[in-house]
C-alpha cells in the first residue's frame, strides 16, 4: 500500500521503516529537513530481528522522503506522528508542581491543518491517522474544527516503548483504533492485516484517546504498588519483596487478568476494605513514604460520594418535594446476600448524612416484595441480574441510575447509565457512532 508518514522523529521514523520493511511504499515528510535522511538515526532502536541499531536497515530500505504535497499525492493512508510535548517540569524528574498542564498541541494542530489544506488542494479523499498521544477530548476540540471533508480521520495511538519501537509496532497486544469514518477504518484494518493478525479494537476517537493514556498510567499504578510493597518489606523483618510480588504474579486469573476491570461500585466484602484500612494503620506505623492504602480507601469513598452527587443532581432536576431516594441492592456481590463492607451501605450512609431518607431493598437479603412505591430517584447499587430483567418492576416515572450499565432502556422509567459521556444535548458518543462501537475484531 502507498503510505505517508508526517513527522520522522523517535516514533515516526522507526515505524515508517517497519512499514517499508513489510513491503509498503512509504514516503515520509518532516518540517525539519534534517530528519529527512537515512544516514543516521540519533536514537537507540533495535531492529526487528534484534539488530542493535536500525541505521543499516534504514540506509538499505526503500523508504523515501518528499514534500507534504508529494506525500499527499503518493499516499492512500497518511500517519501523523508529530510531537505533543510537555514542559520540562512535567517530566517527572522534579517534584510535582502544584499546578498541572495539558500537553502542547501546537505542532500537531499545525501539522494536521497543513495536511488538510494539502489534501484539499490535491482534490482526493485521504485516510489520515493521528498517532500522537493526546488527552481525551483533544481531537474533537483541537483537530476536527481544522480539517475538511476530504480528510477521513482516525486516531490510532501505539503502545510501543522507545528502543523497541519496531518490534512493538509489528507485535502489538492489540491495535487501538478510534474511528469516525467506517470506510477509513476498513482501509486501515486492511493495512494492519498486512503486518500482523493481532486484534483490532475499534472504538470512538474519545475512547481511544483515553485508552492510550489509561494504559500508560495503569503501568505506573502497578509499579507504584510494587514499590509500596518494597517499602513495607524493607521495614518489616522477614519480608522479601521479590517473594511477595513473585506470589502475586501467579494470580493470573484475578489479579493480572481481566477480572475486576469494570467500572461500577467500589470494592466491598469482609476482607478488602478492612485490609486496606488495617494496612493504612501499618503504613502510619511503619512511617511509609506514602499511604497507598489510605489513597485507595479515600478514592473509593469519594467516588461513592460522587455517585451521591449524581443522585442529588437528578433529584433536583426532577424537582421532587420529598427527600426520599431508593437503593436497589445491599450486597456487594451479585446473586448473594453478602452485605459486609458493602459500598451500597456506604452510599446510603453518605446520602443519609446529606439529609435524604434512604430506602434500600435487596431481593437476596430482604424478605417479601420490594416496598418502593413512590416516584423518585433510584440507584442500582448491586448488579443482581434480577434488576436487569425486563420483568423487574421499577416505580413508573422514576429515574434509575445504573453504574453497571446493564439495564436496557425502558419506557416505564428513565434509565441513566453511568460511565457513558454525553454531549450537552444529551447524545452519547456511542449514539454518535450509530451504536457500532466499541467493536473488537479478532485477528
Site residues (vs ligand NAD, CB under 6 A): 6-12, 29-32, 35, 81-84, 107, 110-111, 114, 131-133, 158, 160, 162, 165
> What are the cell numbers at 320?
421532587
Give Cα separations from 365 to 66, 338, 422 (angstroms): 70, 8, 35
3-state helix, strand, coil in the chain (%, to 5): 40, 15, 45
In whole angstroms, what is the distance from residue 189 CA to residue 193 CA? 6
Helix (H) or strand (E) holding 56, with range, is: helix 55-60
Identity of the residue, 148 or 337, whose beta carbon is nearer to ligand NAD in the bound complex: 148
Strands 324-328 and 200-203, how do they pair? Answer: unpaired
CB 3 within 8 A of CB 77: yes
Smallest separation, CB 143 to ligand NAD (Å):
13
Classify residue 44 as exposed, middle or buried by CB count within 10 Å of its CB (0-12, 13-18, 19+): exposed
Identity of the residue, 30 or 267, whose beta carbon is nearer to ligand NAD in the bound complex: 30
Identity of the residue, 10 or 384, whose beta carbon is nearer to ligand NAD in the bound complex: 10
In whole angstroms, what is the distance from residue 111 CA to residue 32 CA? 12
Smallest separation, CB 425 to ligand NAD (Å):
31
Strands 126-130 and 151-155, how do they pair? Answer: parallel
Smallest separation, CB 234 to ligand NAD (Å):
33
Identity of the residue, 8 or 54, whose beta carbon is nearer to ligand NAD in the bound complex: 8
Which residue's C-beta sits nearest to ligand NAD?
Answer: 9
Smallest separation, CB 348 to ligand NAD (Å):
44
Q: Return left, alpha or beta for 123; rule: phi > 0 is left, psi -120 to 50 is alpha, else beta.
A: left
Smallest separation, CB 128 to ligand NAD (Å):
13
CB 308 within 8 A of CB 350: yes
Smallest separation, CB 18 to ligand NAD (Å):
13
> What are the cell numbers at 222?
502497578
Identity of the residue, 12 or 326, whose beta carbon is nearer to ligand NAD in the bound complex: 12
In whole angstroms, what is the distance from residue 17 CA to residue 22 CA? 9
Smallest separation, CB 320 to ligand NAD (Å):
48
Identity of the residue, 131 or 401, whose beta carbon is nearer to ligand NAD in the bound complex: 131
Identity of the residue, 81 or 327, whose beta carbon is nearer to ligand NAD in the bound complex: 81
Amino acid at each position: 500500500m502507498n503510505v505517508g508518514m508526517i513527522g520522522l522523529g523517535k516514533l515516526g521514523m522507526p515505524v515508517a521503516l517497519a512499514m517499508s520493511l513489510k513491503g509498503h511504499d512509504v514516503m515520509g515528510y518532516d518540517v525539519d529537513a534534517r530528519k529527512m535522511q537515512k544516514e543516521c538515526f540519533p536514537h537507540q532502536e533495535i531492529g526487528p530481528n534484534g539488530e542493535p541499531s536500525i541505521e543499516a536497515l534504514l540506509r538499505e530500505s526503500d523508504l523515501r522522503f518528499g514534500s507534504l504535497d508529494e506525500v499527499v499525492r503518493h499516499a492512500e493512508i497518511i500517519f501523523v506522528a508529530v510531537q505533543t510535548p510537555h514542559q520540562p517540569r512535567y517530566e517527572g524528574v522534579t517534584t510535582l508542581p502544584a499546578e498541572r498542564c495539558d500537553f502542547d498541541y501546537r505542532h500537531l494542530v499545525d501539522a494536521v491543518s497543513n495536511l488538510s489544506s494539502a489534501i484539499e488542494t490535491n482534490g482526493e479523499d485521504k485516510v489520515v491517522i493521528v498517532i500522537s498521544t493526546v488527552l481525551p477530548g483533544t481531537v474533537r476540540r483541537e483537530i476536527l474544527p481544522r480539517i475538511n471533508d476530504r480528510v477521513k480521520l482516525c486516531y490510532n495511538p501505539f503502545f510501543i516503548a522507545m528502543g523497541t519501537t519496531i518490534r512493538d509496532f509489528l507485535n502489538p497486544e492489540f491495535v487501538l483504533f478510534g474511528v469516525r469514518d467506517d470506510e477509513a477504518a476498513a482501509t486501515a484494518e486492511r493495512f494492519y492485516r498486512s503486518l500482523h493478525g493481532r486484534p483490532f479494537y475499534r472504538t470512538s476517537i474519545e475512547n481511544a484517546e483515553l485508552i492510550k493514556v489509561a494504559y500508560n498510567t495503569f503501568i505506573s499504578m502497578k509499579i507504584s504498588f510494587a514499590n509500596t510493597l518494597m517499602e513495607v518489606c524493607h521495614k518489616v523483618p522477614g519480608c522479601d519483596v521479590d517473594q511477595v510480588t513473585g506470589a502475586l504474579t501467579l494470580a493470573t486469573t484475578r489479579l493480572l487478568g481481566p477480572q475486576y476491570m469494570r467500572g461500577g461500585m467500589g470494592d466491598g466484602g469482609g476482607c478488602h476494605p478492612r485490609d486496606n484500612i488495617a494496612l493504612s494503620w501499618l503504613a502510619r506505623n511503619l512511617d511509609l513514604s506514602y499511604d497507598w492504602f489510605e489513597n485507595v480507601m479515600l478514592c473509593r469513598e469519594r467516588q461513592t460520594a460522587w455517585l451521591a452527587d449524581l443522585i442529588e443532581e437528578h433529584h433536583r432536576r426532577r424537582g421532587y418535594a420529598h427527600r426520599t431516594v431508593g437503593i436497589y441492592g445491599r450486597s456487594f456481590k451479585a446473586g448473594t446476600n453478602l452485605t459486609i463492607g458493602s459500598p451500597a451501605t456506604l452510599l446510603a450512609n453518605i446520602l443519609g448524612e446529606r439529609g435524604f431518607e434512604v430506602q434500600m431493598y435487596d431481593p437476596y437479603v430482604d424478605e417479601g416484595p420490594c416496598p418502593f412505591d413512590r416516584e423518585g430517584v433510584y440507584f442500582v447499587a448491586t448488579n443482581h441480574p434480577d434488576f436487569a430483567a425486563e420483568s423487574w418492576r421499577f416505580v413508573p416515572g422514576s429515574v434509575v441510575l445504573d453504574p453497571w450499565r446493564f439495564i436496557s432502556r425502558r419506557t416505564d422509567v428513565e434509565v441513566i447509565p453511568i460511565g457513558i459521556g454525553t454531549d450537552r444535548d444529551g447524545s452519547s458518543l456511542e449514539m454518535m457512532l450509530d451504536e457500532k462501537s466499541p467493536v473488537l475484531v479478532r485477528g
